[in-house]
Structure 1
Amino acid sequence: MPWIQLKINATGETAEELGDAIMETGAVSVTFQDTHDTPVFEPLPGETRLWGDTDVIGLFDAEADMNDVIAQLSVHPLLASGFHHKIEQLEDKDWEREWMENFHPMKFGNRLWICPSWRDIPDPDAVNVLLDPGLAFGTGTHPTTSLCLQWLDGLDLVGKTVIDFGCGSGILAIAALKLGAAKAIGIDIDPQAIQASRDNAERNGVSDRLSLYLPADQPEGLKADVVVANILAGPLRELAPLIGVLPITGGVLGLSGILASQASSVCAAYTDRFALDPVVEKEEWCRITGTCL
């Protein structure tokens, strides 16, 4: 169905209150967008991190009376002295199909292709992972996932056990299995990620070699030859005592989801247990790898 979008310029101090006011006028959703496209990373639990100059965007049914909406907002204390706004008609699209059309097969390293499950495989002789991420994170399009896939492609995984900590869509665990790993273990806090990983493993014919766990259900004493964790810098630092004991002695660790500016603090959390390699960067993101001492 078609929609109407109302955009009001605000600040970090006023945005949440204005968002509530827009919802009270009948908006079906409200989002916040940085006016200057400044990224914000790692909000604290329960925190809505806003920018200095913030657009508050309300989405309305196409039948909504926007004159009435503006009239209601104009008496709000934060807006009574006048406010800048923009009203736009949004084209009615099949947004899922729109996304699918722009997700193409991608090559990582020398052997590995990540292929959307609804597209043709470009190289039948390559190592192909058929992927449908569902509601979970991980398609290979983000630099952090790309860095992890390239790293896995460069390892000798034949006969190895791999742990994918924060498995999302299962893309890293499944890629490891397709690259020769004997067994993979995926761990994620999101049940939707566990389901997406399970579906993708079945799609790739490796479900019999992939074990999936929510943290509360994972077995004690898990160990692996290779451990990869593509999450965020904060959790990687906080969970270092948990992640750091997963590789066997001589096993390898790969971490990503880290901005280059955060690399030193993440490295510091792992230097006591790992001989770390030089940090690899891609588009302001980085990968940290090392060998367990």
Structure 2
Amino acid sequence: MSWTEIVIEVPLHQAELLSDALMEAGALSVSVEDADAGTDAEQPVFGEPGMEPTQPGWERSRVVALADADADHDAIITDALAALGLSAGEVRHQLRAVADQDWVRLTQSQFEPIHIGRNIWVVPSWHDAPDPGALVLELDPGLAFGTGSHPTTRLCMEWLESHPPHGLSVLDYGCGSGILAMVAAKLGAAPVAGVDIDPQAIESADFNAQRNHCDIAYYLPDQFGATEAHTRYDVVVANILSSPLKLMAPMLAGRVKQGGALVLSGVLARQAQEVIDAYAPYIALCVWAEREGWVALAGAAKTDGGR
């Protein structure tokens, strides 16, 4: 089956209305892009990680609607623009053919095995492991964060590889896909637990753990609090963002056993001192490593619970 893209440029204040109107007129899907992308006039929309967007769109927006190749494209354009009180002659628009492709194969080709640290490979299910003797995680890109491609995930995985938690208990807080918990389990950690606020992430992490033959218990925060209220761990890893990490300092520090390790990432290098200061009353942290502007912080709890 083949498709056609209907591309219409409008000002920011009309983009959302036009998107809705195109769907009503018969488009299969709609996306909005910066009409000036790739030029000196390109407008960044998002601020720092964990912050709200600096603006809700682009002053010159390109609305791209996908339609069947044999649909009445002129009618879709006319009907959609009429909802804005416009005609086709008043706006810049064009049709673009979308070539028929093996979309599954095309998508899979964009995800190759990832080599991390000394001996870790993250391998999509449609690839063979480059080194079967390595620590291999079979993991497909999905809805939950964590495939090993992001610097913060790599930093945490490299810390675990450098400090093998064999025979130690590990908590992965903000587990996403469960990748850090699985690395810990494959390095001999037990028991291993993961926590995330997103039920979909818990479902994804549990599926990934079973696929990789890892015995890991995953929880939503309320379940974790009720089931593991007094449990502390030899290693606690949290790859989130600086703002929630600072807010959770007492809780996360309180989950670390006496002499245990706390590892934090999702922190930009310029935010490191703020996070270190937030944890100072509980655990002394320092920058363990930096990658592409992101850092991993690590420290040991000298007294039980950091108190």
Query: Do the structures match in fold with TM over 0.5?
Result: yes
Structure 2 partner of 1:157: 165
Letter in 2 for 1:256: S
Q: Say which SS state the counterpart of residue 287 (structure 1) adopts.
A: strand
d(CA) in 1 for partners of 2:67, 2:242 = 36
Summarize the Cα distance change of 1:43–1:111 in structure 2 as closer, same or farther, 3 Å threshold: same
Percent of paired sites with the same residue: 42
Q: CA offsets, 1:40-82, max 9 Å, x none?
A: 244659x994345443332223332221122223334475683
How far apart are the structure 2 equivalents of 1:71 and 1:126?
Answer: 58
Q: CA deviation at 1:201?
A: 1.7
Q: CA deviation at 1:13?
A: 4.0
Q: Deviation per CA, 1:193-221, whole angstroms, max 9, x where unpaired?
A: 222222222222223xx111122211212
**What TM-score results when the alignment is normalised by the length of structure 1?**
0.84
Give the superposition deviation at 1:93.
3.4
Partner residue in 1 for 2:96: 88
- 1:57 pairs with 2:64: yes
Query: Which runs of 5 or more residues in structure 1 are unaligned?
Result: none
Which residue of structure 2 lines up, in the alignment, with residue 21 of structure 1?
Answer: 21
CA distance in 2, matches of 1:115, 1:61: 35
* AA matched with 2:101: K
Partner of 1:278, secondary structure, is: strand
Q: How many residues align?
A: 290
C-alpha distance in 2, partners of 1:264/1:88?
Answer: 50
Q: Describe the shift of the 1:246–1:51 C-alpha distance in structure 2 as closer, same or farther (beyond 3 A).
A: farther
Aligned to 1:211: 217
RMSD over aligned Cα, in angstroms?
2.9
Determine if the alignment matches structure 1 residue 75 to structure 2 residue 85: no
Displacement of 1:170 in angstroms is 1.3
Deviation of the 1:37 alpha carbon: 7.0
The code of the aligned residue for 2:179 comes to: I
1:55 alignment partner, SS class:
strand
Contact 1:74–1:82 (8 Å) recurs in 2:
no
Q: Could you tell me whether the CA contact under 8 Å between 2:18 and 2:84 is conserved in 1?
A: no
1:138 alignment partner, one of 129, 146, 151: 146
Q: Secondary structure at the match of 1:274?
A: coil
Q: State the shift of 1:254 in Å.
A: 2.3
Give the AA of the match of 2:44: T
Q: Say whether 1:199 aligns with 2:204.
A: no
- Distance in 1, Cα, partners of 2:93 & 2:273: 42
When residues 287 and 53 of structure 1 are mapped into structure 2, their CA distance, relative to the original with a 3 A threshold, is farther
Q: Which has the larger radius of gyration?
A: 2
CA 1:32/1:213 → structure 2, altered by over 3 Å: closer, same or farther? same
1:185 offset after TM fit, Å? 0.4
The CA distance in 1 between the partners of 2:61 and 2:269, in whole Å, is 26
Would you say the 8 A contact 1:43–1:49 is kept in 2?
Answer: no
Distance 1:78-1:194 versus aligned 2 partners, 3 A rule:
same
TM-score of the superposition, structure 2-length normalised? 0.81
Q: Which residue of 1 aligns with 2:179?
A: 171
Q: Which residue of 2 aligns with 1:245?
A: 254
- Alignment map for 1:215-234 (pairs within 5 Å): 215-218=221-224, 219=227, 220-234=229-243
**Distance in 2 of aligned mates of 1:86 and 1:282:** 42
Alpha-carbon offset, residue 26 of structure 1? 2.0
Residues 243-277 of structure 1 show CA distances to partners (whole Å, capped at 9, x for unaligned) of 33222233222222334454444444333322121
Change (3 A) 1:26 1:37: same
Q: CA deviation at 1:134?
A: 4.1
Q: Tell me by how many angstroms 1:140 deviates.
A: 1.0
- Closer/same/farther in 2, CA of residues 51 and 250 from structure 1, 3 Å limit: farther
**Is contact 2:32-2:63 (8 Å) kept?**
yes
Output the CA distance in 2 between the equivalents of 1:287 and 1:79.
53
Whether contact under 8 Å (2:17, 2:84) holds in the other structure is no
Higher mean displacement: 7-16 or 269-278: 7-16
Contact 2:2 2:98 in 1 (8 A): yes
Q: Using the alignment, how far apart are the partners of 2:13 and 2:274 within structure 1?
A: 30
User: Which deviates further from its counterpart, 119-128 or 51-60?
Assistant: 51-60
The reply to whether residue 109 of structure 1 matches residue 129 of structure 2 is no
